Amino acid sequence: MINQFGCCARYYKNAYKDDVLFAEDNGFSFLQLMYNNKRLLNKEVFMQADEIKRIGFPGILHACLDINEIEGHSNELMETVKYLGHKEVILHPICRSEKIVDTTIFRLSKIVRNLLLTMKKEGISLFLENNSKLDPIFSTTSQIDIMFKENPDLEFVLDVAHIDNYAHLEEMVNVKYPMLLHITDRKLEEIHNHVPIGQGNIDFKYIFNEILPDYRGKIIIEVFQSDEDIINSKKYINQILTQ
């Protein structure tokens, strides 16, 4: 099985059709589409959704929502996913509207469970993304263990740049094997950053040889800086996987 690579639609600078052309020309199989509390990140939301559907290039919504926004957006998120004809969606939960305490993960788990059940009825898989220490909800191994024990049908998108260290990464993989990865680089001594591969110090050869050997899930190159950075980051990861 050959890994499927995705890249990000860059709403802030590109027309959607240009992102599709870039993806097709550089061997990307799908686009990640950012969604937040302003819906799809474009001033003309409905025109944009219509264009995405009309072009028909495979995509996956990445919904970054605060714990206190998820329930209020669940219906619209669900309708957007159905309108676009997607069968997978990423939820990136954050918690900036209140202080995170020991019980917060259990409340998030209940909220996620309701969304998961709704999506399962429509044949849609829900992926949950881990956070870094900058936003420490669904971040620690214990939180991740709680989430997946309470929601075994939930899928895991593992953001490699959000790890504390390699031991943390291995612990998360042992809790739930990720079928989708977010790949960017970072200097591990910094609490949070996302840079093109080669501008940080994450050892991707070690990760794919020792922690995720023979990985065959989907990979999203979550790099935005330039076309060259995106292409080179994908090339580097693909070389490791095909060695």
d(CA 202, CA 195): 11
pLDDT given at position 47: 60
Q: How far apart are CA 159 and CA 147, in angstroms?
A: 16
pLDDT digits (tens, 9 = 90+) for 192-212: 889 999 999 999 999 999 999
Characterize 123-155 residue by residue with b for buried, 16 or more Cβ atoms within 10 angstroms of its Cβ, and e for exposed: ebbbbbbbbbeebebbbbbebbbbbbeebeebb
- Cα 25 vs. chain centroid, distance in angstroms? 22
φ, ψ of residue 225 in degrees (nearest 5):
-60, -50
Q: Specify whether the CB–CB gap between 173 and 183 falls below 8 A.
A: no
What is the C-alpha to C-alpha distance for residues 68 and 227, in angstroms, rounded to an integer?
A: 35
Residue 202: both structure tokens together: 């994450």
Domains of the chain: 5-242 (3.20.20.150)
- The pLDDT value given to residue 43: 47
DSSP of 184-195: -B--TTSSS--B
pLDDT given at position 46: 53
> What pLDDT score was predicted for residue 115?
97
All residue ranges of the chain with pLDDT < 70 are 1-2, 39-47
Q: What is the pTM of this model?
A: 0.94
List of residues 6+ apart from 107 with CB closer than 8 A:
67
Backbone φ and ψ of 95, nearest 5°: -145, 90
